[in-house]
């Protein structure tokens, strides 16, 4: 809201004035300078020492006091086209939220100027003067003493009138047109420089700005100056043509902006925003080097006095001819290239080598391991952009801990200038591991260029990029599996050789996707849960171990291809680990019938199965849930068996009470007596375990969260048959009930549930053990140990003591003899 209000003020201010107004001249013909940058009075040669120091302090970039005075004599004062006091306040305080972007704006302007002169130089060789295209660069320097930063380019430069028009007219794109474009939010807006306010970001850090510029169309180099008030000055540069051609922008920093007078700070800013600018960007840095200098007479004499070693006449003569020197530390200045990375996304992918891609990836991510895979593409249509996207080999630390934070995976550029590197949902959150760049030539921006003006455009780009990423992952998952089966020209040997090569290649690529799955499998599952639009594509990327895969990962497509003819469902089981589910009693009948079962052992799989209910026309069926139907089941026979065991299941229901919802005869077991299953649409045992493990879970209050259990008994198991017999003969016997409860407890643990009342379970175990040992379970516990027990123990201990004394006596006798 603050930025919208600020923009409203900005547009109103721009509309106030339409033309450049020349300042009134005084009687002597010298332009009247109201609130100009330099208010040093002419002819003040006899000022006090304080005034002299003030005048000297105003010099910059080697401009002496005399040159400053000459500059002031020839200055012409102009007024801005708008209410600049209010306008600049809006620009400085409202449009930009990050002060360091002034470097990006000035470098972008310099790059535009270099682009222009390079284009002119292609047809007019004289435009470049004595230089050539290789000499076009941008240079940044700073002076801590004067508190200035200078950004200089060898671009087209500006004439006097262009300085007035370009820098003196805020929002140069035309007042009315500017307002219409900015308020309409049209997709047809131009790119960098469309609003004409980027230059004024310098006032975020500077209270005075000087622009020296030389154009081929103007024989004189001019200086433009302003303090962001209601006026600016333009004058011939008293230093003459020092630039040759180009522009130098000098910022006189505010006191609170002196942090930018730092090599590391400037280097970091350039690397972040402008590392892919086409032209070299160099920073003037200071280095300390060792230098050999001759010794003065006193030092030489002192050194000779210390040397008392005898030398030959020949060595002495050589020493006299060779001057004596010492090593000193000296600070030297040199230009350091900042943007070594190249914007390879602008080139044709066919012309880029794998080494270039790896080098670019390393410069972009600072990851020396190289990417796992990549995709380089251009998108056209409603929005045109180029992009290179990478999948890192290793997931970064804490990838899923910052799942809901702003994504920094992609960098958005406009004409190779960084616009943003943090987004809420430029890419779906589950693809936050993707690294890369997106560069658009026609992306609509807002005035500050820090955010996009059209959310709709972002959504269009996001949809296209997401589709390309999923295509890249799909190719990675299926690489090596395709290929033509026939070779018209080659013979059988060549065909077999080709198939063998494809098989090896497929195994290699599958291994690569296995590595991807180990690193980013959770991301695919999160996408399946969140991104309903791409559920079909994401489901083909899922991988699981199965009961037949022997530890290898299998996709759903491969599972469906291996399904038996009479199989109508995709069977799966969820659990804590592969080792746990492999021992599960739920697998007994399914494995006997030779059906393949997916092992889902990730907590996210519980949510995946709620979203993914079918694949390729086959429904997913949990073998731990109720109503499991297996091919070959005889429904009539099942009904007859249930009727025969009806009285027994009713008795068990009475014994278990609320612990189970019902007891029924099942058909999914082979070796186990019974098992506990859950409702078709309820929680599984694994889901209950996961929810209980939640940080804020309250087992006492959240009783509705527990899975409803159904006991399925195996009517062919001897334990069940004997227990049925005992229930008919001794239905009210506590020992029989204990056995029934122990069967339940074993099924509870064997089915993956946790036991709530361990004390009761231990008591039942003790009672059953007592009966097995022919002991009355209610027999009292002895108050003390009987006397015969410990007396006998004392006698045994005494015997041992006598034996030890005899051994010691024999040892002593042996020592005496020795």
Instruction: Check: CB of residue 195 under 8 Å from CB of residue 182.
Output: yes
Per-residue pLDDT, 328:
76
Q: Rg of the Cα trace of the chain?
A: 43
Per-residue pLDDT, 38:
44
Per-residue pLDDT, 634:
78
CA distance 542 to 531: 14
| Residues pairing with 711 in the sheet | 663, 676
CA distance 622 to 628: 8
Q: Which DSSP string corresponds to 732-793?
A: T-HHHHHHHHHHHHHHHHHTTPPPS-HHHHHHHHHHHHHHHTT--TTPPPPSS--HHHHHHH
CA torsion angle 477 478 479 484 (round to 10): 180
> Max alpha carbon distance in the chain (Å)?
138
Task: At 567, list the tokens.
Answer: 């199989």
Tokens 């972008």 belong to which residue? 108
Per-residue pLDDT, 140:
95
CA 357 distance to own-chain centroid: 19
What is the pLDDT averaged over residues 231-238? 90
Strands (E), 258-384: 281-294, 325-337, 371-379
CA torsion angle 235 238 243 246 (round to 10): 0
Q: Which has the closest alpha carbon to 410: 447, 477, 464, 333?
A: 464
What is the pLDDT averaged over residues 232-244? 91
Catalogue all structural domains in the chain, each as residue range(s) with its CATH number: 2-18+65-186+193-282 (3.30.565.10), 344-478 (3.30.230.80), 542-622 (3.40.50.11260), 635-772 (1.20.120.790)
Looking from the CA of 388 toward its CB, the CA atoms found within 13 Å total: 20
Highest mean pLDDT (candidates 51-60, 675-684, 700-709): 675-684
More reliable by pLDDT, 703 or 421: 421
**pTM to 2 decimals?**
0.71
Task: At 210, list the tokens.
Answer: 């000087």
How sure is the predictor about 510, in pLDDT bands with cuts at 50, 70 and 90?
A: low
Instruction: Check: CB of residue 332 under 8 Å from CB of residue 289.
Output: yes
Per-residue pLDDT, 35:
38
Per-residue pLDDT, 78:
77
Question: What are 92-101's pLDDT values in tens digits?
Answer: 665 666 788 8
Whole-Å CA distances, 60 to 49, 209, 759: 20, 11, 87
Per-residue pLDDT, 193:
43
Per-residue pLDDT, 673:
94
Highest mean pLDDT (candidates 321-325, 691-695, 788-792, 812-816): 691-695
Question: What are 673-688's pLDDT values in tens digits?
Answer: 999 999 888 888 888 8
H/E element, 416 = none
Strands (E), 666-748: 674-678, 709-713
Tokens 């996707």 belong to which residue? 513
Per-residue pLDDT, 366:
85
How sure is the predictor about 127, in pLDDT bands with cuts at 50, 70 and 90?
A: confident
Question: What are 588-627's pLDDT values in tens digits?
Answer: 999 999 999 999 999 999 999 999 999 999 999 999 998 8
Per-residue pLDDT, 479:
76
Instruction: Check: CB of residue 99 under 8 Å from CB of residue 205.
Output: yes
Task: At 497, list the tokens.
Answer: 């050789």
| Residues pairing with 153 in the sheet | 138, 247
More reliable by pLDDT, 3 or 331: 331
């Amino acid at each position: 809201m603050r930025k919208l209000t600020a923009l409203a003020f900005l547009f109103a201010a721009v509309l106030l004035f339409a033309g450049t107004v020349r300042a009134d001249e005084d009687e002597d013909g010298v332009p009247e300078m109201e609130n100009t940058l330099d208010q040093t009075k002419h002819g003040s040669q006899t000022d006090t020492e304080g005034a002299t120091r003030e005048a000297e302090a105003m010099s910059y970039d080697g401009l002496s006091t005399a040159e400053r005075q000459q500059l002031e004599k020839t200055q012409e004062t102009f007024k801005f086209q708008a209410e600049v006091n209010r306008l600049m306040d809006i620009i400085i305080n409202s449009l930009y939220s990050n002060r360091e972007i002034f470097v990006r704006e000035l470098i972008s302007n310099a790059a535009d100027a270099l682009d222009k002169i390079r284009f002119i130089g292609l047809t007019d060789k004289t435009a470049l003067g004595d230089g050539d295209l290789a000499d076009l660069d941008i240079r940044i320097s700073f002076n801590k003493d004067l508190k200035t930063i200078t950004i200089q380019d060898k671009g087209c430069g500006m004439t006097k009138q262009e300085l007035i028009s370009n820098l003196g007219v805020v929002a140069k794109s035309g007042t009315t047109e500017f307002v219409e474009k900015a308020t309409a939010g049209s997709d047809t807006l131009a790119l960098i420089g469309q609003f004409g306010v980027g230059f004024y970001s310098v006032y975020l850090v500077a209270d005075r700005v000087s622009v020296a510029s030389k154009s081929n169309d103007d024989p004189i180099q001019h200086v433009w100056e302003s303090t962001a008030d209601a006026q600016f000055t333009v004058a011939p540069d008293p230093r003459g043509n020092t630039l040759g051609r180009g522009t130098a922008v000098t910022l006189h920093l505010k006191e609170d902006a002196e942090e930018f007078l730092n090599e590391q700070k400037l280097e970091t800013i350039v690397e972040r925003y402008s590392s892919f600018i086409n032209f070299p960007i160099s920073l003037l840095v200071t280095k300390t080097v060792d230098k050999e200098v001759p010794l003065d007479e006193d030092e030489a004499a002192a050194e000779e006095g210390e040397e008392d070693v005898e030398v030959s006449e020949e060595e002495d003569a050589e020493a006299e001819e060779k001057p004596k020197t010492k090593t000193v530390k000296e600070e030297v200045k040199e230009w350091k290239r900042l943007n070594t990375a190249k914007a390879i996304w602008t080139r044709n992918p066919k012309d880029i080598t794998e080494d270039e891609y790896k080098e670019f990836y390393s410069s972009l991510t600072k990851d020396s391991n190289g990417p796992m895979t990549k995709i380089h593409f251009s998108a056209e249509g409603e929005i045109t952009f180029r992009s290179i996207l990478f999948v890192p080999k290793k997931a970064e630390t804490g990838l899923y801990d910052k799942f809901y934070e702003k994504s920094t995976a992609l960098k958005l550029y406009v004409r190779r200038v960084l616009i943003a590197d943090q987004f809420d949902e430029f890419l779906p959150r589950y693809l936050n591991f993707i690294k890369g760049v997106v560069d658009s030539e026609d992306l609509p921006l807002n005035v500050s260029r820090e955010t996009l003006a059209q959310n709709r455009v972002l959504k269009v780009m996001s949809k296209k990029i997401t589709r390309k990423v999923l295509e890249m992952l799909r190719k990675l998952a299926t690489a090596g599996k395709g290929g033509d089966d026939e070779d018209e020209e080659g013979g059988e040997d060549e065909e077999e050789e080709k198939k063998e090569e494809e098989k090896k290649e497929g195994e290699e690529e599958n291994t690569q996707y296995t590595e991807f799955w180990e690193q980013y499998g959770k991301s695919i599952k999160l996408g399946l849960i969140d991104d309903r639009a791409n559920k079909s594509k994401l489901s083909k990327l899922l991988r699981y171990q199965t009961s037949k895969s022997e530890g290898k990962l299998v996709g759903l497509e491969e599972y469906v291809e291996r399904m038996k003819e009479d199989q109508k469902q995709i069977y799966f089981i969820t659990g804590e680990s592969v080792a746990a589910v492999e021992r599960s009693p739920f697998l007994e009948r399914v494995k006997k019938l030779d059906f393949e079962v997916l092992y889902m052992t990730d907590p996210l799989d519980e949510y995946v199965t709620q979203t993914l209910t079918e694949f390729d026309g086959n429904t997913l069926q949990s073998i731990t849930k109720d109503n499991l139907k297996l091919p070959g089941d005889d429904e009539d026979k099942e009904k007859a068996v249930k009727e025969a065991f009806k009285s027994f299941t009713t008795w068990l229901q009475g014994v278990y009470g609320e612990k189970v919802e019902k007891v029924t005869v099942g058909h999914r077991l082979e070796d186990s007596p019974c098992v506990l299953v859950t409702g078709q649409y309820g929680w599984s045992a694994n889901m209950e375990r996961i929810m209980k493990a939640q940080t804020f879970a309250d087992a006492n209050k959240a009783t509705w969260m527990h899975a409803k259990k159904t006991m399925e008994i195996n009517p062919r198991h001897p334990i069940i048959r004997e227990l049925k017999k005992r229930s008919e003969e001794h239905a009210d016997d506590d020992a029989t009930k204990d056995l029934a409860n122990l069967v339940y407890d074993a099924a509870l643990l064997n089915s993956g549930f946790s036991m709530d009342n361990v004390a009761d379970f231990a008591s039942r175990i003790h009672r059953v053990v007592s009966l097995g040992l022919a002991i009355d379970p209610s027999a009292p516990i002895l108050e003390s140990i009987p006397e015969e027990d410990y007396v006998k123990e004392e006698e045994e201990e005494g015997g041992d003591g006598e034996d030890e004394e005899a051994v010691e006596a024999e040892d002593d006798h042996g020592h005496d003899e020795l």
